[in-house]
Amino acid sequence: MSVEKRATGKTAAAKPRQIGRQAVFLIGTYFSGSTLLGNCLNAHPSIFFAGEIDRLEAFRREPDWTHQRERGCRLCSTQAEAICPAWPSELLEKIRPLDDISAYRAVIERTEAPILLDGSKRIDWLNSLYDSGLNSNIKVIICARTPFSFAKSSDGGAQPLRPIEAGASWRDFYLHTLRSLAGRGIPSLIVRYEEFAFKPEPSIQRVCDFLNIPFDPVTLNYWRVPSHAVGGNGGAYLRDPNFTPSALDKDEKWKLDYFSNKPFGGWIEDKWIHGLTDAAVRQIMSVPMLNDVASLLGYDLAWFMGERMRIQMEDELRRTTHVPSAPNCTAEVKAG
Residue type, 185: G
Number of Cα atoms under 13 Å in the Cβ half of residue 171: 17
Mean pLDDT of 70-97: 82
CA separation for the pair 284, 162 (Å, rounded): 9
Q: For residue 10, name the pLDDT band (cuts at 50, 70, 90).
A: very low
Tell me how many degrees the CA angle 233-124-200 measures, rounded to the nearest 5: 40
Is-contact 142 24, C-beta < 8 A? no
Return the CA Rg of the chain: 20
Mean pLDDT of 295-321: 92
- pLDDT tens-digit map of 247-305: 777 777 777 777 777 778 888 778 899 999 999 999 999 999 999 999 999 999 999 99
Q: For residue 157, name the pLDDT band (cuts at 50, 70, 90).
A: low
Q: Which is nearest to 4 in space by CA: 111, 102, 101?
A: 111
pLDDT score of 145:
96
- The whole-model pTM stands at 0.87
Query: Which phi-psi region, left, alpha or beta, contains residue 265 (left: φ > 0; alpha: ψ -120 to 50)?
Result: left
Residue type, 308: R
pLDDT score of 324:
59
For the chain, give every domain's residue range.
Answer: 5-269
> E strands of 168-288, at which residues?
188-192
Is-contact 94 80, C-beta < 8 A? no
Q: Which is nearest to 104 in space by CA: 8, 187, 2, 226?
A: 2
Q: Which CATH architecture has domain 5-269?
A: 3-Layer(aba) Sandwich (3.40)
Work out the number of other CB atoms within 10 angstroms of the CB of residue 334: 14
CA separation for the pair 201, 26 (Å, rounded): 18
Close Cβ partners of 45 (under 8 Å, ≥ 6 residues apart)? 5, 10, 11, 12, 13, 14, 16, 113, 216, 218
H or E, element range at 212: none
The β-bridge relationship of strands 22-28 and 47-51 is unpaired
Mean pLDDT of 310-326: 79
Mean pLDDT of 50-75: 76
Instruction: Return mean pLDDT, the chain.
Output: 85
Residue type, 151: A
